[in-house]
Amino acid sequence: MLLSIRKKHFDGPGGILELLPIAIPMFLSTMFDMLMMFIDRLFLSHVGVVHQAAAMTGGITSWMVVSFFVGIVGYSSTLTAQYYGAGQKYNCLRMVKQSLWCAVVSYPLILLIDCIVSISPVFSGHSELEQVLERRYFWYMAFGSVNALTRFVFGSFFTGIGRTKVLLVANSVALFVNVVANWVLIFGHLGCPALGLDGAAIGTVMSGASAAITLMVVYWRARRHPEWEGGRKPPLFEADKLFKLIRYGLPQGVENILSMVCFVFLVSSLHSYGDDMAAATTIAFNWDSFSFHPLLGVQVAVSTLVGQAMGAGLPDRAVRVAHSGYKVAIAYAGFMLILFISCTGTLVGVFTPESSGLDYAQVREYAIPMLRLAGLYLLTDALLIIASGALRGAGDTLWCMLIHIMNNIVMTLGVMLCVYILKLRPLQVWLAFVIMGALSSTMFIVRYKMGRWKSLRIIEKES
């Protein structure tokens, strides 16, 4: 019986044992990304309630702009996976060069858009102190966006070929730099002045730069191997490859930015209830993100193996990969659900230290039920991200964009209706948000089950 279970679920192409070597390093990499954000908020919780809330809103507002360009640049991972699966290793390097072109053009555009965003009313409705801190953190992240672009350019190559351990190494370096830099700069150790929020921002930029440099160095060493160039040096600029990257990456970029716009409005609506609710929202989203983002590591593994299978012309293997992803994701989400429900007080207490001299009583009163409710839709989130990962790996980015945008608009308008029109209590609004979030996975699953993605072909045959 055990042998039949292993053969059905674990062994062979597309099984769990093929997925895990890619998924586990990505799982840990995204966990380390979240730990960096988590540590920022944890250290800032000892500075003040407003500071940790401002770091969240300033950070996500900056990422709102960057996410559009990252969506385009980062889609090179799927194209690389398909070329790799088709045995066209030469084209993998060509995709890196075209995504690098995108990144070079994107950075000045990001700074230009950030100038417009910074004078917009995106932070209106928050306290005066919070708005000042939000804008300061926002600009640190804006100038540091070059790190994110660089990480996605070179990280997408290793993701596409399944060498996700390289990303784990880069994120390990970034996590170490983040912890040390934040400890020194936020609190003023080793002779440095205590910079508070500014120290958290500088430490985050430094850690992002360390990850980008690590990936760049490893890439330049790896590309010198003859298997990649095949005796031919890839041209610097190729319009057809760049067009392909933009064509399939643009929907992902649009999806990213509109999702972040909706998220910013959603968070701002919840922050309108005051500083205590703002801090409670930050705590709930910190733990929710901490549990959710490792699932993105599984999604990346699914997208990579689906891309490789589709590039090789093996849609049945792609289906098995997706099913393996569902099993891994649901097992993880079930564990986190139990943890959120059974250890809620302890998890909230991490961000509401009694020894800091700050009054966190009202924050805890909001945050504990919010975190318990957040655990309930984690299972449906697992289904959503695996379905969307399979669709993106096959190239079905347009429908992913349309479904995701519709879901986010409905959720954001629903929350704003509850806050500003119906004037519900904070926890009632959060309950409505959780219910809408749980229902949002339905359309992705329907699109996946329709199976049209299995007939898509997005790369050319090698002549």
pLDDT in tens, 279-291: 888 888 878 877 8
Alpha helices per DSSP H over 161-194: 165-187
Q: Is the pLDDT of residue 107 over 90?
A: yes
Query: What is the pLDDT at residue 69?
Result: 92
Is the CB of residue 208 less than 8 Å from the CB of residue 66? no
Query: What is the pLDDT at residue 93?
Result: 87
**How many residues make up the chain in this entry?**
463
Q: Give the residue-averaged pLDDT of 258-281.
A: 80
Of the listed ranges 76-80, 145-149, 195-199, 216-220, the least confidently predicted one is 195-199
User: Taking the complete model, does pTM exceed 0.85, yes or no?
Assistant: no
Domain boundary assignment for the chain: 7-455
- State both tokens at 16: 């769990």
Secondary structure of residue 230 in the 3-state scheme: coil
How far apart, in Å, are the Cα atoms of 430 and each of 233, 260, 273, 414, 417?
A: 55, 18, 12, 11, 12
Backbone phi, psi, residue 203, to 5°: -60, -40
Query: What is the pLDDT at residue 357?
Result: 61
Nearest to 270 by CA among 428, 448, 93, 34: 428
Res. 125 pLDDT band, cuts 50 70 90: low
Query: What is the pLDDT at residue 169?
Result: 94
168 conformational bin, left if phi > 0, alpha if psi -120 to 50, beta if neither: alpha
Is the CB of residue 210 less than 8 Å from the CB of residue 149? no
Res. 42 pLDDT band, cuts 50 70 90: confident
